[in-house]
């Protein structure tokens, strides 16, 4: 249920009844509990337009406000603010409905948008490194979120599988892999060795160059080697996706090479509408207000990253029919996307009404505030980082005797991976952030463990209760009221997070929710002697809805929960 819109409707009805000839501004969440649940601060702005003083307008609105359904009390504060209190009977009923609904009463978008989410996109010549973490999990969260809200989501993994370096790599693969057993377990090393050979051995270097030309002209033998290399490399990525609980599959791969045949046509079409200019033999598009042009074809005939992205944009808009295309890519590529979007729109590859967005994110830093590196200055392989997370998570639970070894293994994965993901998603994505093991693996604070712990704690309440839950939710005190309203705000939060593509709005909400629940739980016992049956049942239901909300929230973030912790 969209809580804020519902409150806004009540307000709008008051405007109509009072003959106020203006659309009401939206209410906002109250900044303090004393101010009620929502505030309307629009009377000041209206006062200028309507030529009345703000308190007069506020009074007029309140006098015409229906106080029996959604809103039960309204008060004027200060120069003309209106504080609004929601009706406890109504919120109780809404919470009750939500507990009984699989989707927690969250609407499925009646007008779904077709959205392409482009994320992860690792380069096949190298191992996935920590830089790919953010794209992969922010993108996956966005795709999960939009899917949950009812959009038609097409995940696209734009892997880098084309380029001159593959000539060298496949020549080396052929040389080393006579018996077909090379696993390329360490792609980094393989790349280094191939490069070493390339620099030291003239014959090999010539062969590598020859192989570049051969793959490009469709030579069967070379393409086979290339395909083999890509398959193994992609297999490594899939291992990471699996560990990360990310939904990308092979079906979502639409690699750079997929667009090869479209590239001449992209250039041709830019040429025919007169946007193409030659500069030093290269074919370029100049964009107004930009000194640096977009190069779409080099003097030697080779195409570039931008050319492929233009072809991909055209494909996504025209073949896939996307109306929103979201690129979850490092902030350092902002210039690239700005240019490519402009060229694609100007060239008519993409219609005006298609929303193109670069979902930019900052860099992961080490404790010293420098980009994250290994001790000897190399890039940190993502798989190593994830394995380390599991080892560290195991340390936090190892002393718990109630678990079997198998349970500890499983738990360590859920906690460790959850911690890495949550710590990343909880940051405003455009900021750089400091990677900190101790902080992310803490039971306290805005961490996944805190959420997982709260969820498990609620499950333990239910195990203790061990019986049916009946009756209605009855809002007893102010804290219960706040918890219920917080629970009902979930859909508004998800909607906002989807528009802004900001996972951290979800984590911030979960943190507020769980903090509030923990207070509620301390002050309002459920299973203690002396709690009457009606109160007990009501509180159990609020706890149930809290658990379901945590679970749904974490599920969108791709983080698992456990029943016991």
Indicate whether 118 belongs to the interface with ligand ARG (CB under 6 A).
Answer: yes
Indicate whether 54 belongs to the interface with ligand ARG (CB under 6 A).
Answer: no
Q: Scanning residues 465 to 524, which ones bind ligand ARG (CB under 6 A)?
A: none
Given candidates 47, 99, 123, 549, which one binds ligand ARG under the rule CB under 6 A?
123
Using the minimum distance from each CB to ligand ARG, give the nearer residue, 357 or 472.
357
Q: Is 323 helix (H, G, I), strand (E, B) or coil?
A: coil
Contact 155, 204 (CB under 8 A): no
| Residue/partner pairs of 93-97 with CB below 8 Å, 24 or more apart | 93/473, 94/1, 94/488, 95/473, 95/484, 95/487, 95/488, 95/541, 95/542, 95/545, 96/472, 96/473, 96/541, 97/1
Indicate whether 312 belongs to the interface with ligand ARG (CB under 6 A).
Answer: yes
Stretch that binds ligand ARG, among 26-34, 88-96, 117-125, 459-467 (CB under 6 A): 117-125
- The owner of tokens 């101010």 is 35
Stretch that binds ligand ARG, among 85-93, 116-124, 236-244, 422-430 (CB under 6 A): 116-124
Using the minimum distance from each CB to ligand ARG, give the nearer residue, 333 or 396.
333
Using the minimum distance from each CB to ligand ARG, give the nearer residue, 85 or 259.
259
Contact 75, 36 (CB under 8 A): yes
**CB count in 10 Å sphere of residue 66:** 11
Using the minimum distance from each CB to ligand ARG, give the nearer residue, 312 or 382.
312
Using the minimum distance from each CB to ligand ARG, give the nearer residue, 158 or 421.
158
- Which residue is nearest to ligand ARG, using beta carbons? 121
Count the site residues for ligand ARG by CB under 6 A.
9
Indicate whether 266 belongs to the interface with ligand ARG (CB under 6 A).
Answer: no
Nearest distance from residue 156's CB to ligand ARG, in Å?
8
Using the minimum distance from each CB to ligand ARG, give the nearer residue, 42 or 122.
122
Contact 292, 304 (CB under 8 A): no
Please, what sign has the CA dihedral across residues 369, 375, 378, 382?
negative
Indicate whether 158 belongs to the interface with ligand ARG (CB under 6 A).
Answer: yes
Residue 308 burial class via C-beta count within 10 angstroms: exposed 0-12, middle 13-18, buried 19 and up: buried
- The owner of tokens 């678990």 is 403
Stretch that binds ligand ARG, among 106-114, 115-123, 177-185, 265-273 (CB under 6 A): 115-123
Nearest distance from residue 233's CB to ligand ARG, in Å?
13
Given candidates 24, 42, 80, 160, which one binds ligand ARG under the rule CB under 6 A?
160
Contact 173, 223 (CB under 8 A): no
Indicate whether 140 belongs to the interface with ligand ARG (CB under 6 A).
Answer: no
Using the minimum distance from each CB to ligand ARG, give the nearer residue, 309 or 424.
309
List the 152-156 sheet strands across, edge first.
Answer: 152-156, 114-118, 324-330, 355-361
**CB count in 10 Å sphere of residue 388:** 14
Distance, CA of 126 to CA of 194 (rounded, Å)? 12
Nearest distance from residue 143's CB to ligand ARG, in Å?
14
Indicate whether 121 belongs to the interface with ligand ARG (CB under 6 A).
Answer: yes
Distance, CA of 521 to CA of 454 (rounded, Å)? 10
Indicate whether 230 belongs to the interface with ligand ARG (CB under 6 A).
Answer: no
176 CB contacts (<8 Å, ≥6 apart)? 182
Q: Is 294 helix (H, G, I), strand (E, B) or coil?
A: strand
Indicate whether 309 belongs to the interface with ligand ARG (CB under 6 A).
Answer: yes
Q: Scanning residues 328 to 347, which ones bind ligand ARG (CB under 6 A)?
A: 329
Pairing label, strands 71-77, 364-365: unpaired
Nearest distance from residue 252's CB to ligand ARG, in Å?
13
Using the minimum distance from each CB to ligand ARG, give the nearer residue, 123 or 502.
123
Distances (CA, A) of 206 to 150, 164, 172: 53, 13, 12
Indicate whether 129 belongs to the interface with ligand ARG (CB under 6 A).
Answer: no
Q: Scanning residues 271 to 300, which ones bind ligand ARG (CB under 6 A)?
A: none
Footprint of ligand ARG (CB under 6 A): 118, 121, 123, 158, 160, 309, 312, 327, 329
């Amino acid at each position: 249920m969209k809580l804020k819109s519902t409150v806004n409707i009540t307000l709008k009805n008051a405007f109509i009844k009072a003959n106020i000839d203006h659309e009401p501004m939206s209410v906002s969440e109250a900044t303090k509990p004393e101010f009620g649940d929502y505030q309307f601060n629009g009377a000041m702005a209206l006062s200028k337009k309507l030529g009345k003083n703000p308190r007069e307008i506020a009074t007029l609105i309140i006098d015409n406000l229906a106080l029996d359904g959604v809103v039960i009390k309204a008060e004027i504060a200060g120069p003309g603010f209106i504080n609004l209190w929601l009706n406890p009977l109504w919120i109780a009923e809404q919470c009750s409905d939500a507990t009984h609904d699989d989707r927690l009463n969250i609407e499925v978008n009646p007008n779904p948008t077709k959205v392409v989410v482009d994320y992860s996109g690792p380069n096949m010549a190298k191992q996935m490194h920590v830089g790919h973490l953010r794209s992969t999990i922010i993108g996956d969260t966005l795709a999960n979120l939009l899917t949950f809200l009812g959009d038609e989501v097409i995940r696209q993994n734009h892997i880098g599988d084309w380029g001159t370096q593959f000539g060298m790599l496949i020549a080396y693969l052929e040389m080393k892999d006579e018996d077909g057993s090379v696993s390329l377990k360490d792609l980094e090393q393989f790349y280094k060795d191939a490069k070493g050979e390339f620099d030291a051995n003239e014959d090999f270097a010539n062969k590598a160059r020859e192989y570049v030309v051969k793959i490009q002209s469709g030579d069967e033998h070379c393409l086979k080697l290339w395909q083999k290399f890509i398959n193994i490399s992609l297999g490594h990525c899939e291992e990471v996706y699996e560990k990360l609980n990310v939904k990308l599959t092979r079906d979502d791969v639409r690699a750079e090479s997929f667009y090869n045949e479209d590239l001449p046509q992209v250039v041709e079409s830019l040429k025919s509408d007169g946007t193409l200019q030659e500069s030093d033999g290269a074919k370029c598009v100049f964009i107004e207000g930009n000194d640096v042009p977009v190069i779409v074809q080099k003097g030697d005939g080779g195409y570039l990253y931008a050319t492929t992205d233009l072809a991909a944009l055209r494909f996504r808009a025209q073949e896939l029919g996307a109306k929103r295309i979201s690129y979850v890519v490092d902030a350092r590529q902002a210039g690239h996307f700005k240019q490519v979007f402009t060229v694609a729109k100007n060239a008519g590859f993409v219609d005006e009404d298609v929303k193109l967005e670069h979902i930019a994110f900052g860099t992961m830093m080490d404790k010293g505030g420098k980009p994250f590196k290994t001790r000897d200055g190399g890039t940190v392989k993502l798989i190593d980082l994830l394995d380390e997370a599991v080892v560290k998570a195991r340390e936090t639970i190892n002393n718990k005797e109630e678990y079997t070894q198998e349970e500890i293994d499983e738990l360590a994965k859920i906690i460790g991976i959850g911690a890495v993901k949550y710590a990343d998603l909880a940051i405003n994505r455009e900021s750089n952030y400091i990677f900190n093991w101790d902080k992310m693996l803490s039971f306290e604070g805005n961490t996944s463990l805190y959420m997982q712990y709260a969820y498990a704690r609620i499950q333990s309440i239910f195990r203790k209760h061990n019986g049916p839950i009946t009756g209605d939710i009855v809002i007893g005190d102010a804290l219960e009221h706040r918890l219920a309203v917080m629970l009902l705000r979930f859909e508004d939060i998800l909607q906002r997070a989807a528009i802004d593509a900001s996972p951290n709005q979800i984590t911030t909400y979960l943190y507020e929710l769980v903090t509030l629940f923990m207070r509620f739980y301390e002050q309002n016992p459920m299973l203690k002697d002396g709690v009457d049956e009606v109160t007990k049942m009501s509180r159990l239901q609020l706890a149930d809805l809290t658990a379901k909300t945590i679970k749904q929230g974490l599920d969108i973030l791709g983080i698992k929960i456990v029943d016991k912790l």
